[in-house]
Amino acid sequence: MKIRRYLGKDTQEALLKVKMDLGNDAVILNTRKVRQKGFLKLFSKPMTEVLAAVDEEYGSRKEREAVKREEKSPDLNKENQIKIQLDDKEQKIAELENKVSNMESLLQKIYAQFQSNGQKTAAAVEQPAKPFSKGLQVFSSNLLKNEVEAEIVKRIIDTVSEKIGENAGVNDAASVLYNVISGMLGKPSTIQIKEEGRPTVVIFLGPTGVGKTTTLAKIAANYALNQKKSVGLITADTYRIAAVEQLKTYAEILGMPVSVIYSPAEIKEAVNAYSDKDVVLIDTAGRSYKNKTQFEELKSLVLASEADEVYLVLSATTSMRTCRELLNNYGFLENYKLIFTKLDETPINGIILNAKLLTNKSLSYMTYGQSVPDDIEIANIDKVTKNLLGSIG
């Protein structure tokens, strides 16, 4: 028999020590309250003392009996082991399923949080860096009404909003907007006449119906009458009815020679025939980019002309979608300037700014009617900018 004493703050703590030391088979012999010895411990709370005992041979007897039972019933023992193993597996599976369920729940929370953050970020991107003033909002609306493309409007407004304060007045906003837009339009560029040597050769291209022939005649009249330059005319527009006669009529009125060519091979000889002129202006037929054969012929004509300057003539009444297609298909031109016609037929000038920024080419002339030599002027940047901005009212 093994007998021992155990102290604890209370009975529960003392019994726990007994169980841990002697096991569940221990016998409690006595329990009492005792005070600890020592001067400093006189005033402390009494402790619980438990006297316990256990039979030392009890455990070995139990083990021997268990061995005998296993020897007598090995099959039953195996069944118990298998059952225990199955119970362990089921418990592990249950624990694994619980972990998977917790992971799914956590992932759902993370996904929900991610979506929430994404929506907040998108909302933040959509919001401007700083709120627009009322004046900027009105001018932004005016630009869109003038069919300036939305991306360009955003670029303009963002640029202006960085330059002015949130509470800037209408006049301040208008002034900065004017400077930004006019800067984007740039300075117009006209024909640069050579001082000496061979004549300056200029070719005019563009789709059918934009007024190339009339525009060419206006420019020819300006150089002949106002700048006292000698001008020679060449037309390759032999496909359109009365096109040659139209240019011949203008040439006769202005006292200028005109030559007609029917293929790109003839262009060089026609230009050389005007070696004594200051300027040679070449009119071409409107070509549809959808007709590959005709468009290739036009490319050959431009190459053979060895023109000093190339002008792409566009109508201000053209839709932006069509204009974009035209600019893409005339992209074979390495360098050219832009002429806009028929500004008298539309109050909307957005196409001018759009085309200028899409091509990064210089603006040149603009026409406002059919009268020759009137109704043409060098691109008026001030007028176009004010038209685009519109009225604050």
Q: For 3-23, write each residue's pLDDT tens digit.
A: 788 888 888 888 888 888 877
Q: Is the per-residue pLDDT at 110 higher than 50?
A: yes
192 vs 190: CA distance, rounded Å:
6
pLDDT digits 0-9 by tens, 178-203? 999 999 999 999 999 987 778 999 99
What pLDDT score does 75 carry?
A: 54
Greater confidence, 324 or 113?
Answer: 324
What pLDDT score does 126 carry?
A: 47
**Residues ≥6 apart with Cβ < 8 Å to 253:** none
User: Sign of the C-alpha dihedral, residues 74, 79, 82, 84?
Assistant: negative
What pLDDT score does 167 carry?
A: 63
Domain residue limits, the chain = 2-72, 84-127, 134-185, 200-381
82 vs 78: CA distance, rounded Å:
6
Q: What percent of the chain has pLDDT over 90?
A: 42
- Placement of tokens 């992932």 in the chain: 107
Q: What is the mean pLDDT of residues 242-253?
A: 86
What is the CATH T-level fold of the domain 200-381, as seen in this structure? Rossmann fold (3.40.50)
Greater confidence, 173 or 380?
Answer: 380
The alpha carbon torsion through 314, 210, 140, 130 (nearest 10 deg) reads -20
295 vs 326: CA distance, rounded Å:
12
- CB burial readout 55-77, b (16+ within 10 A) else e: eeeeeeeeeeeeeeeeeeeeeee
Confidence (pTM): 0.65
Give the confidence band of 374 by pLDDT, cuts at 50, 70, 90.
Answer: confident
